[in-house]
Amino acid sequence: MAAPLHLWRNARLATLAGPQGWGLVDDGALLVRGDQLHWVGPMSDLPGDLNIAAEHDLGGALVTPGLVDCHTHLVYGGQRALEFEARLNGASYEDIARAGGGIRSTMAATRAASSDALFASAAQRARGFMAEGVTTMEIKSGYGLSEPDEARCLAVARRLGRDLPLSVRTTSLGAHALPPEYEGRPDDYIAAVCRWLPAQHAAGLVDAVDAFCDRIGFTPAQTRRVFEAARDLGLPVKLHAEQLSDQQGAQLAAEFGALSCDHLEHLSPTGVQAMARADTVAVLLPGAYYFLRDSTLPPVQALRDAGVPLAVASDHNPGSCPTGSLRLMLNMACTLFRLTPEEALRGATVNAARALGLHDRGALRAGLCADFAVWALGHPSELAYAFGGNPCLRSVAAGVER
């Protein structure tokens, strides 16, 4: 028996359904059946003879697709406010990492925390993003850095997707940093990360595999080994690429058909072209750029010219971007990276979904997931224009109001 139809009416829709433009529909409506959009359009075109089980009047509010945060590190223990202070006193991110701070300090706090404590803190963060219209979120591991702790963090992320009205995609990021027990033996650690992946995959904990390829991360050769292990398991790859230096990681990722390359401040023209050929999404992370007071901009115009899709994500993490707002990232993407408001919103919907390998969400169109957000705004450009406060009135995820 088919699920009942629910009608959401009296709204201004920003469908983003075409390749460009807002796709605005005034006096629009959404028909939802189960967890899918059954029909989208102006009320004047609403099909007749429908058996509608419930109607919801949106009072002329703006409706957009549910926001998609395609790059987060949401599961971790502790915080790193003292490192923030140290950077303000002159220490660099790399200085702190090499002195045993950075990711390693979060690793120690994460290992010491129980799984329930990790879930409770991550759920609190997730609810903050959800309150601003996020309906899908990627969550990486990378703060356990041992076989049991990486699996534990991935299991917590999976639990978030089960227990909260939020779609969660999990990414294994064991190749995030070198743990102290492998000091001086990075190749041995990479071999261990590759050994962990089959068990993580068999347990249903992994949707994709990521690595940090940079001067304080892992070399391209080491990253290649991780990607080869992922490919053997049929898992797609992503990459923290060219954040602090050009390691030609984007070319490597493109060789493996990566879903996305993320950060990209030091991306070369060759890397841009490699991503374009591989149809790899460029995930821009303006919050980390801002928080680290970076001065090298990602080559946004070159990416545009090459036709590389641009996504925008929060990069929520305790060390370089402790933000709780994806919507703030839309503003930063415009003010810092000069995206247009439309590019920014597409970056957190259509293209963000694409960066996760998802083609069933990110726009308002019949047949896609019934994920949408309702805003006390008149035009979608206002989502990137204003910062602070929360204009999200309500949201619907998989057809259910949250």
Q: Domains of the chain (ranges plus CATH)?
A: 5-66+363-401 (2.30.40.10), 67-355 (3.20.20.140)
pTM: 0.96
* Average pLDDT for 20-49: 96
Residue 240 has pLDDT above 90, yes or no: yes
- Give 2-13 pLDDT, tens digit per residue: 889 999 999 999
Determine how many CB atoms are found less than 10 A away from the CB of residue 303.
21
The residue type of 169 is R
Q: How confident is the model at residue 101 (pLDDT cuts 50, 70, 90)?
A: confident
Length of the chain: 402
Residues whose CB is less than 8 angstroms from the CB of residue 88 and which lie 6 or more positions away in sequence, other chains included: none
pLDDT of residue 97: 77
Contacts of 238 (CB under 8 A, 6+ apart): 171, 208, 209, 210, 253, 258, 259, 260, 261, 262, 355
The predicted pLDDT at position 93 comes to 73
**Is a pLDDT exceeding 90 seen at residue 1?**
no
Tally helices (H) and strands (E) across the chain: 15, 15
